[in-house]
Amino acid sequence: MARLGRFFLILAFIGYPILLHTYILKQEVEMWQLLCVFAPMLAGAAWVTLRLVDKIWWPLVVAVFAAGIYFIATGHHGRIGLLAVNGVSSATLNLFLLWLFGRTLTRGNEPLISQISRHINGKLDPEVADYTRHVTIAWCIFFALQVVVSLLLYLYAPVAAWSFFINVLNVPLLIAMFVGEKAYRTVRFPDHPKTSILKAIEVYTKNFAAPGKADSGR
C-alpha cells in the first residue's frame, strides 16, 4: 500500500502541472473547473504556510486564502484568473525558495546544503564545505532564473510557451538540476558518502522545516 501511495503521489506530482497547462490553453474555463484545478495548489500552499508561520498569523493566512478562493469563484474572466494565479503562485514559490537558500549565505550562517550534508555525513572537510556552499549558490541562481525567464516569456512570448515553461518544464528542470549536481559530485568526490535526493529532503523536513528548528550552523 505504501508503494502504491508513493506511485499515485508521483503520478499527481507529474500530472498536475500538465493539467494546469491544459487549462491555460483553453479559451473558456468554467468556474467549477477552475476551483477543482486550483484546490490542490491552494490546499498545499495553505498547509506549507501554516507550518512555517506562528499561530498568531494563522487567521491572516486563512483570510488571504479565502480571498483567493473568492476571487477565483466570482471572477468573470476565468482564463485571466487562471493565468494570474498560476503565474503568481509559480513566481512566489521560486522567490520563497530563493530566500530560503539565500538567507543561509549571509555572514554568520552556514549554507543550507552544507547544513543538510553535515546532518547526514557529520563534520565536513573544508573542500566539501566549500563545494556545498557553491551548490547552495547554484540553487539560488536556478530559482532566480526561473522567475526571470518566466517573466520574459510572459512579456514577449505566446502564453502557451510561458505556461509550458512554468508548468510542464518545471519538474524536468528540477530533476535535471538534481541529477547534474549529483553526477558532478560523484566524479569530484568519489570517496564521499552517497546521498540521495529523498534522504536530503527527509533530513531537511525533520531538522529545518518546522518553526524553531532552523540551524544557522553557528
Count other C-beta atoms under 10 Å from residue 198's C-beta.
Answer: 8
Whether the CB-CB separation of 10 and 197 falls below 8 Å is answered with no
Using 50, 70 and 90 to split pLDDT, how confident is the model at 4? low
Count other C-beta atoms under 10 Å from residue 43's C-beta.
Answer: 11
- Measure the CA dihedral 82/83/84/90, to 10°: 100
Say yes or no to pLDDT of 160 above 50. Answer: yes
Whether residue 182 lies inside any domain: the answer is yes
Distance of alpha carbon 100 from alpha carbon 211, whole angstroms? 13
pTM reported for the whole predicted model:
0.73
What pLDDT, on a 0 to 100 scale, did the predictor assign at position 211?
46
Q: Report the helix count and the strand count for the chain, using DSSP H and E.
A: 9, 0
Q: How many domains does the chain have?
A: 1
Whether residue 218 lies inside any domain: the answer is no
Whether residue 46 lies inside any domain: the answer is yes
Q: Residue 163 class from Cβ within 10 Å (0-12 exposed, 13-18 middle, 19+ buried)? A: buried
More confident residue, 99 or 89: 99
Taking only the tens place, the pLDDT of each residue in 35-81 is 666 666 666 666 666 666 667 766 776 677 677 666 655 554 555 66
Give me the mean pLDDT over the 22-41 stretch. 63
What pLDDT, on a 0 to 100 scale, did the predictor assign at position 194?
66
Whether residue 134 lies inside any domain: the answer is yes
Using 50, 70 and 90 to split pLDDT, how confident is the model at 165? very high
Q: What average pLDDT does the structure give for the chain?
A: 75
What pLDDT, on a 0 to 100 scale, did the predictor assign at position 212?
45
Taking only the tens place, the pLDDT of each residue in 114-147 is 888 888 877 888 898 899 999 999 999 999 999 9
Domain enclosing residue 163, as ranges: 2-209
Whether residue 215 lies inside any domain: the answer is no
Whether the CB-CB separation of 65 and 45 falls below 8 Å is answered with yes
Say yes or no to pLDDT of 204 above 70. Answer: no
Distance of alpha carbon 126 from alpha carbon 218, whole angstroms? 16
Whether residue 12 lies inside any domain: the answer is yes
What pLDDT, on a 0 to 100 scale, did the predictor assign at position 1?
54
* Strand boundaries in 82-180, DSSP class E: none
Residues 6+ apart with CB under 8 A from 210: 51
Most confident of the following: 16-20, 115-119, 170-174, 201-205: 170-174
What pLDDT, on a 0 to 100 scale, did the predictor assign at position 42?
64
Cell numbers given for 78: 476565468
Whether residue 100 lies inside any domain: the answer is yes
Using 50, 70 and 90 to split pLDDT, how confident is the model at 102? very high
Whether residue 214 lies inside any domain: the answer is no
What pLDDT, on a 0 to 100 scale, did the predictor assign at position 199?
64
Say yes or no to pLDDT of 149 above 70. Answer: yes
More confident residue, 177 or 190: 177
